[in-house]
Structure 1
């Protein structure tokens, strides 16, 4: 009886097993955690601060991941999962951003109207990736911001990056790959027109060119190389010489 009592005591004193951590393949990448935090900040009006990526992936979550400011300030953002229950904190650097916004609210309306704004990324993009409407946001910038900046989304949507860029980075022309309308060795439609007469043949561009540029193209039907002007995506134009009628 004594031995049975000792055995029962040992079993009761044994710690209960804990749930194993989700396998690495089911974990949430650090980039996704940053995207979730960034989206919550943008919806709250915090646009000029960027969450710092966690050093490790987040555990798996069966439901939505909730994001909220810690103790009422976006200087630290808390990501929380209810199933299984866990929370992680990300520093954002939003304290200075909130301070600037509070100061801006005291600036006269005339000064606000003249403040510069520029388009920046809200998520990381790699070299060669195309900028979409979901990737950019308009943020205030100082008068000392170098380079030309963009303020109209239509000037950037569809353009490719020449280099990888991090969230919060203002996009300048030097960050963009050339906006070629015609690619070297790519197919083109050669349009020739004189008055009411129009002729179209296929060709091959011998150089890359932008809208309005002159570019050498080779006609696939005749093999001749001619100089044409870019008038659209993969479309070039050549003026036909008017026919000379003998007297």
Structure 2
């Protein structure tokens, strides 16, 4: 409710008085998302196709993030009919403050369960929370809820337990030998290139990809189906 109130306060006065009776176009969707992000001090842009439209809404839709991650936001409306839609963004997540271990022994936040789940459960955002763990290896641990949401558990897992890659059903978004789109991310800019996957990869996994333009083998993070991302610090 606090986020929604802030978003409404930043909208032009005319927009508050006019319900979205004809639905929302891509400009209105982007404006709502940008307003909500700005209210929380987030930087980045919504990724909305010019052809995208949302259903009609009698009020201004609420905008919330998923599990504290602003790279995916959700717009919701209750009337005239209830609906919810997700929008991707290029939000830059703030760096985690490192505390003096002598006063606050916090480690890297990892994905944990908010409740006990049984084998075969498809994980939703409400099942997850980010909690810090003690210093040590992060091997197998999941640090981004977006890489866990929608996947199926391969074992029973208790409340508060960290989610490991081996707990999840394998879901290859990239397979060895297939063409991939490579997004080079640097200083708020994105450059697209083409490549060939050198190995299989699940969402969030770092894999080897051959850039077809330079014929160079590089490391990249799997983002979506046949799409990987490279940051300046990775290679």
TM-score (norm 2): 0.30
TM-score (norm 1): 0.29
**Which structure carries more helix by proportion?**
1
